[in-house]
């Protein structure tokens, strides 16, 4: 079950875990949300770019089930960190499949620290649950991308492939507006309102007497007006 969580809490954990981001602030525990956001944008301009681009953001704390986890994708990062290039299917479990099938060389060449992946995998085997992943997505049926925790997620995927075992993984999920879905909804709503307006106009249009057209009826109504009506009345 997803529970709302304060952005400040998520960013503080993220900055504390990332040495480069932590170097950008004087005191992680005392840093403001704005300072932590700026630090992450400076240290991780690719992975953290949604913090400045996709406002407003709602944050949730949840435990990912197996289907949610196996669909996770790596987020865009530095040009020399090619997660998607080595994945067999575009997901992080696909990265683990590549590691299992071809060994560490393809991942090492892509800038991925396979030593860290195996270390996390061994910790999982010892019962140590990894820190929460930080995942971003948009409203609607859009993919979930891991902004922080790609090595940890790959380790979970590797253990899943090796043992068939999976324990729900903790995650903070950032949900932002969908720039495609929202305009589409607005267009559909506008079209519905226009059709509804035409329907109402059709139902309330004046009808002529039997054997006469609406135009004849409107003309008859005009002829039945009193002389005073035809002369008009003083405007107020």
Note the pLDDT tens digit of each residue in 46-82: 999 999 999 999 999 999 999 999 999 998 666 667 9
What is the pLDDT at residue 9?
97
Whether the predicted model's global pTM rises above the 0.85 cut:
no
What residues pair up with 146 in beta bridges, in sequence order?
74, 135
C-alpha span between 15 and 3 (Å, rounded): 21
Note the pLDDT tens digit of each residue in 192-205: 566 666 555 555 55
Under 8 Å between Cβ of 1 and 25: no
189 has a pLDDT exceeding 80: no
What is the pLDDT at residue 200?
52
Average pLDDT estimate for 81-95: 94
State both tokens at 37. Answer: 């956001």
Average pLDDT estimate for 88-113: 96
DSSP secondary structure of 117-183: HHHHHHHHHTTPPPPPEEEEEETTT---EEEE-HHHHHHHHHHHHHH----PEEEEEEEE--TTHHH
* Average pLDDT of the chain to the nearest whole number: 83
Note the pLDDT tens digit of each residue in 11-57: 999 999 999 999 999 899 999 999 999 999 999 999 999 999 999 99
Q: For residues 229 and 8, which has the higher predicted lDDT (pLDDT)?
A: 8
181 has a pLDDT exceeding 70: no
Question: Rounded to whole angstroms, what are the CA distances from 141 to 62, 150, 193?
Answer: 18, 22, 26
State both tokens at 13. Answer: 């954990």
What is the pLDDT at residue 177?
87
Confidence of residue 132 (pLDDT cuts 50, 70, 90): very high
């Amino acid at each position: 079950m997803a529970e709302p969580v304060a952005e400040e809490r998520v960013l503080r954990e993220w900055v504390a875990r990332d040495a480069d981001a932590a170097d950008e602030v004087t005191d992680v525990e005392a840093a403001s949300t704005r300072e932590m956001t700026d630090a992450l944008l400076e240290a991780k301009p690719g992975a953290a770019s949604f913090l400045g681009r996709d406002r407003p953001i709602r944050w949730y704390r949840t435990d990912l089930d197996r289907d949610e986890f196996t669909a996770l994708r790596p987020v865009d990062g530095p040009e020399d960190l090619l997660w998607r290039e080595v994945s067999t299917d575009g997901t992080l479990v696909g990265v683990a499949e590549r590691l299992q099938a071809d060994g560490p060389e393809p991942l090492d060449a892509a800038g991925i620290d396979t030593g860290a992946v195996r270390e996390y995998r061994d910790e999982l085997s010892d019962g140590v649950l990894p820190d929460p992943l930080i995942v971003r997505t948009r409203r609607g049926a859009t993919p979930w991308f891991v902004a922080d925790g790609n090595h940890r997620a790959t380790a979970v995927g590797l253990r899943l492939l090796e043992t068939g075992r999976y324990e729900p993984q903790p995650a903070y999920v950032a949900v932002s507006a969908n720039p495609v879905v929202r305009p589409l909804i607005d267009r559909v709503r506008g079209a519905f309102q226009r059709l509804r307006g035409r329907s109402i106009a059709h139902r309330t249009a004046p009808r002529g007497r039997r054997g006469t057209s609406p135009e004849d009826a409107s003309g008859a109504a005009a002829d039945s007006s009193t002389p005073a009506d035809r002369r008009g009345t003083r405007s107020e």
